[in-house]
Chain A
Amino acid sequence: MPILEHPAYPPATLLCLESLVPCRESQVSMLLSIFGERQQLSFPSIFIYGHTSSGKTYVMKTLLNTLQQLPHVFVNCVECFTSRLLLEEILIQLQNHSSETRRASPVPCDTFNDFVRLFKQALVSQNLQDQTVLDRAEQLREMEANILPAFLRLQELTDRNVTVILLSEIVWEMFRPNTGCFEPFILYFPDYSIGHLQKILSQNHPPEYSADFYSAYINILLGVFYMVCRDLKELQHLAALNFSKYCEPVVRKEAKERDTRKLWKNIEPHLKKAMQTVYLREISSSQWERLQCEEGELGQIKGLSAHAHVELPYYSKFLLIAAYLASYNPVRTDKRFFLKHHGKIKKTNFMKKHEKTSNHLLGPKPFPLDRLLAILYSIVDNRVAPTANIFSQITSLVTLQLLSVVGNNDQLDGPRYKCTVSLDFIRAIARTVNFDIIKYLYDFL
């Protein structure tokens, strides 16, 4: 029995819509009842939020496209990164569907005032409903302060029967401007449960195979991936990538379609491998597909993380090591590490209370250039001349994002740096120059 009922639309259309938006029937019916019939006045603004890929954009698109009576404008706010682009994009789309033949040249529209005027011109009829959907609405917060409140009141400002729908991944509380605004109607799209995911994913089965067979496959896939990934899009992608492998025994006539256990044994290790590689984008999906075709071993293609090694010039390595030491050792301990006759200082003696927590947990601290150079001179065996090359190496380490400049970049005022590399990275670097860095780190004394 149909869940969706609405006097304005024929039941056949509604049935079709229902089949297109599985597991979102209640939200859709809610929206339909808010919209009402076309000549009725709708709510000025609706705010829809929910987690990534909970079907917000998809539902809105199918809803507005299937029920052809609803003229609408659909804009992605990430794409329109300035308010001018956003407003012009809305106007262009409005013009396009109000008059199919005449493709007007874009009108410059710099302010919201202009927008309201042009909007009125574009929508001549007063009574018929019109929807404006703004996807990824969180971007609106970064535009001019008047944009968001004005959109919420667009119906009032333009005096047209228009509903603005904002889609976002974050809650309304994060949007509300300090000065207050019109409160939109808030609608929440909950996450899909595992059952929902199963239902949605199984719906789109390949024509060569039966729905049951595919649904069994989806079941196995969800068993592996549901723990780490609930993103519908990603799951769909993974399902498509690995399905050919699942079918292999059937194609080779080694197993029947109903032989679920055998198929499971075949696919499970494969999926686990996929979780470590393709899912993390260690290797690309096209490489993964090629591997499947060639039956090759995974070892042939190394993931991105396998290439963590960075080759640096000799002094750059020492500069980086010196920077690391300067970032993670307290200043007072320099004397103990780098002076020849520092005497016997026990750790307990010169440890202050707040330093008992590991410096590695607190993260790198900024240090001045002089300290970096002083440490460099004492850890390099032979004499280093402070040549222009040394200084330019520091700058190039900054451009490589291995160091970062802290604070104002007033060159005269002794620049301060932070070392941004990890302990593993610096240990690998130190090993190549035979420098035992652990001995010089205060945390590991």
Chain B
Amino acid sequence: MSTRSLSKGCFVFKPSPKKRKVSRTTAYYFREGSSDLEDSELRFATCQSLQKQVKSETEQIEEELNEQLFDNLVSFLRRSHSAFQEKKTEWTCRTKSREIPTAALVLGVNVTDHDFTFRSLSEVLQNNVTPYIALLEAKDCPGIKNLMQKLLGQLMNCCIDVDSSEEEDYEHVSRSRVRCSMTTLINWYESATKRTDSETPGKKRTSSRHWQSPPVVVIFKDMESFTTKVLQDFVVISSQHIGEFPLVLIFGIATSPMIIHSLLPHSVSSLLCIELFQSLSCKDHLSTIIDKILLTTQFPLKLSEKVLQVLINIFLYHDFSVQNFIKGFQLCIVEHFHSNPLSVLCCQLEEAKRRVNSLSHNQCENVRRLPSFRRYVESQVSEKQIALLTVDSSLKEAVQKLLEDLNVYHENYFPILRCLHVFTSSLPKYPLGKQIRELHCACLENRVWETEEYESSLQLARMLNKSDLVTMLQKCVEILVSSPGREFDEIVEKLKEFLTQFQKLEEAYQERDESISPQKELQKKTNLYHLQKTLLELKESRRSKKLTKFEMLRFEVVDYIDSLVRHYLVPADHKTLHEIVYFNTASVLREHLNAAPRIALHTALNNPYSYLKSEALKSDGGSISNKAPDICIAYKLHLECGRLINLADWLEAFSTVVTAAEGPTADAASSDQVDDVIHARFIRAVSELELLGFIKPSKQKTDHVARLTWGGC
């Protein structure tokens, strides 16, 4: 349901019963599972709006990032067939063989993100270039026949979408069995383009955004997975007809463009005219996302150092997927609003202040329980302490003020962080990290100025040369001027003052150079003895004076930056009420995003108490309780076996464990004759284990099964 329109208007959406039910259940579940029911509806609404905001923001960022690539591609498409249309008669065009224009689009290994890119690519092409786009996936095209079917189906359907008036005309074509050959495609293309040409002027509007003879774009989404034969056949077939209709191929490549050469032999690749296009690397992509989403005051929710580390680690170590990173962030939002009753205050400042006023008594108690608030209370004078702890209204007042403080802290934090990053990112060996996200993590973790890395980077900063220092200061001024913080006027003044001092120094140098040069000439005329003497004197003076004016100034600048850092980059968890806006339960996030199925299965079977929570199962570890489910008993017993397990022995052990409790009461006869019920239970447990993939029947030995898993979960 979209409400996109050029004019303002009222849109009526008939409520579909199914949809409403779904949305109600989300809200319901949100309330259901939360530990504290305070303000859950409000929290849910805030959460939803924040989610929406994040989604639209990320989509916009991604669009901007892809813009350059798409522009290049569009101009390539424009170029690809125009040359032949313009100068058909020229000698070179007649003699040289006609190749299929092909764009090799290298997108990086994060295959999960490609879908999004291709969707927006086809949207862009559809809007500006051509309605004839086919997206092919390897799993749909095991043979050339399937490929042609898919291709024709997509192309002919898209034609129906463009102008629905002639739908009936095509209906019967698509219904009857179409001959899936290139000839059909060419005939279709001719009729389709002719039709758009001869359209009534009123309808021309739709086709005018496309080009005169729009190319047919075939996109192979995952080049690597296509079989060689299918690709070869398709290229050979279409090269036969390239003169008859403008075809352009786009290969989506995840690894490297070398794959083209390894998939296609020279005889086939010589039919292609391949140009390379590279998308932004996913690491840069992530940096932009972090920069624009996390390092701003735009969104009230912030991530703590551990949470951010989990998300970044999953990205760098496992998948390189920016989409997953954003999804992780969204999960953080839901989890925060879901689990923290005070998250109701996690919104823009004005709104938060209003909400503080309507807090219930329970919520006030929640505030009082916050560790950071407790620390705050302890630091107050005793009357104030009593007021804060007993009177709700004074608490609300204090909370409002503290929230304001927190807001100011954030407004100052990010610009200063960027300034510090300007300095640290140009130091050799990057002691505080190359990326701003590393610096951010370091600052959140603890007092950054107490770390060794900070110390060494200051040392290095004290050795910077002048031109670097000046450009850095200029950059800092730019950052601070463009940021909305209130307290920066003073800092900017100070930095500008440094800059002018540098300027003056330079002038002074030039003057001194001029004054020195005649002196030097004098020296040249004197004899060697005098020269030696003067040099010695110079050396002496340098040793005693040690610092030039520039060095003094440099120290001053570095000290000033240091003071800024100490003042503004205090870790967030030293701030009162940080729990409201910071999400910091990293363990929950790790559990959800980096699931360990094997470990979970092992715990479930080895220690059933952890999931079933039945008191009877609470065991002290080593021994096998007979109260446990059968499969757990069987599992524990099989852990003690080698590669091949004797079923008879296993059954024996099983029955011993199961009957252990009734041991003394049971009669001796049952010991050598296993009970039928126990036998059946054992068989069931074993087949369950087989289903879970722990064992499999073996043909090496009769009555044995083979173990498939080994320790080290």
Contact = CB atoms under 8 A, between A and B. Distances in A.
Contacts of B274: 281, 284, 304
B491 to A, nearest CB: 39
A314 B312 CA distance: 12
Interface string A68-94: 000000001011111001001100000
Contact of A52 (B222, B267, B315): B267
A389 B236 CA distance: 40
Given A79-B240, A244-B92, A413-B696, A396 B596 contact: no
A83 B220 CA distance: 26
A260 B492 CA distance: 70
B106 A307 contact: yes
Interface in B663-713: 693, 696, 708, 710, 712-713
Contacts of A204: 95
B266 A286 contact: no
B83 A286 contact: yes
B599 A385 contact: yes
A310 B255 contact: yes
Contacts of A305: 257-258, 261
Contacts of A307: 106, 256-258, 276, 278
Interface in A248-276: none
Interface string A291-306: 0000000000010110
A236 interface: yes
Given A304-B258, A304-B276, A386-B713, A240 B92 contact: yes
B13 interface: no
B316 A313 contact: yes
Interface stretch (B26-34, B317-325, B414-422): B317-325
Contact of A85 (B108, B181, B225, B317): B181
A359 B623 CA distance: 48
B360 interface: no
B708 A412 contact: yes
A400 B560 CA distance: 51
A287 interface: yes
Contacts of A244: 92
Contact of A76 (B79, B224, B240, B317): B240
A401 B317 contact: no
A284 B236 CA distance: 18
A281 B269 contact: yes
B275 interface: yes
B179 interface: yes
A281 B179 contact: no
User: What band does the interface of chain A fall in when counting residues whose beta carbon is under 8 Å from B?
Assistant: 35 or more
B109 A85 contact: no
A315 B109 CA distance: 13
Contact of B317 (A81, A89, A285, A314): A314
A74 B214 CA distance: 30
Contacts of A302: 276
Interface in B71-105: 79-80, 83, 91-92, 95-97, 99, 101-102, 104
Given A313-B319, A314-B317, A400 B97 contact: no
A157 B273 CA distance: 45
Contacts of B83: 286
A81 B145 contact: yes
A308 B256 contact: yes
B317 A313 contact: yes
Contacts of A78: 233, 236-237
Contacts of A315: 317-318
Interface in B108-167: 108-109, 111, 143-145, 148
A399 interface: yes
Nearest to A236: B95
Nearest to A304: B257
A206 to B, nearest CB: 4
Interface string B322-350: 00000000000000000000000000000
A377 interface: yes
A314 B316 contact: yes
A281 B266 contact: yes
B182 interface: yes
B598 interface: yes
B472 to A, nearest CB: 30
Nearest to B316: A314
A370 B707 CA distance: 12
B236 to A, nearest CB: 5
B281 interface: yes
A389 B314 contact: yes
B258 A389 contact: no
Nearest to B321: A313
B597 interface: yes
Interface string A221-240: 00000000000011011011
A106 B269 contact: no
Contacts of B101: 286
A399 B109 CA distance: 10
A402 interface: yes
Interface in A309-333: 309-316
A324 to B, nearest CB: 16
A388 interface: yes
B128 to A, nearest CB: 21
Contacts of B631: none
Contacts of B95: 204, 236-237, 239-240
B295 interface: no
A215 B272 CA distance: 28
Nearest to A52: B267
A215 to B, nearest CB: 15
B91 A310 contact: no
A52 B236 CA distance: 14
A440 interface: no
A389 B318 contact: yes
B594 A388 contact: yes
A388 B181 contact: no
Contacts of A208: 91
B254 A400 contact: yes
Contact of B109 (A285, A310, A387): A310
Contact of A89 (B145, B181, B598): B181
A377 to B, nearest CB: 7
A308 B258 contact: yes
Nearest to A388: B595
Contacts of A413: 696, 708
Contacts of A241: 92, 96
Contacts of A414: 708
A244 to B, nearest CB: 7
B134 to A, nearest CB: 18
Given A233-B97, A286-B273, A311-B109, A304 B261 contact: yes
A276 to B, nearest CB: 14
Given A313-B319, A393-B318, A399 B224 contact: yes
A399 B225 CA distance: 6
B181 to A, nearest CB: 6
Contacts of A407: none
B154 to A, nearest CB: 19
A374 B317 CA distance: 18
A236 B97 CA distance: 8
Nearest to A92: B183
A146 B713 CA distance: 58
B37 interface: no
Contacts of B276: 302, 304, 307
Contacts of A88: 179
A243 interface: yes
Contacts of A388: 594-597
A50 B603 CA distance: 68
16 contacts: A78-B233, A234-B97, A240-B96, A244-B92, A285-B96, A285-B273, A286-B83, A305-B257, A308-B256, A311-B320, A386-B596, A389-B318, A399-B225, A400-B255, A401-B224, A412-B696
Given A79-B181, A89-B183, 9 more contacts: A52-B267, A237-B95, A281-B274, A305-B261, A307-B276, A308-B256, A311-B282, A313-B317, A388-B596
3 closest A-B pairs (Cβ-Cβ)?
A240-B96, A206-B91, A389-B318
